[in-house]
Amino acid sequence: MTHAPIDPGDPASIKATALITRYGHCKFTDAEVLAAFAVLVLKVSGYNLLVSGDVLPGSQAQAEFLRLSRRYGASPVLTPPTSLR
């Protein structure tokens, strides 16, 4: 998946829509919030996010973060948690 370049004069050029298919206003998981941030960082800077494994210590949350990020075009790098270094 490619992304269009950012046009500083067009705020819509950084718009990205992510679909969360469950009920509940502002009940995003940590993985969903971090994935959205990873996509934003990619769109604004052109770089993928480097994320410490300590941010999402559970393997399920890490897998969900990577899955969602990739679904929307980002390829963040997840480093091992500090306890495993």
Tokens coding 64: 């969900």
d(Cα 48, Cα 11) in Å, to the nearest integer?
Answer: 20
pTM: 0.74
* Mean pLDDT in residue range 33-41: 93
Among residues 45, 36, 42, 34, the alpha carbon closest in space to that of 78 is found at: 34
Whole-number percent of the chain with pLDDT over 70: 69
**Contact call for residues 42 and 29 (beta carbons, < 8 A):** no
Instruction: Please spell the DSSP secondary structure of 39-73, one letter per residue.
Output: HHHHHHHS-PPEEETTTS-SHHHHHHHHHHHHHTT
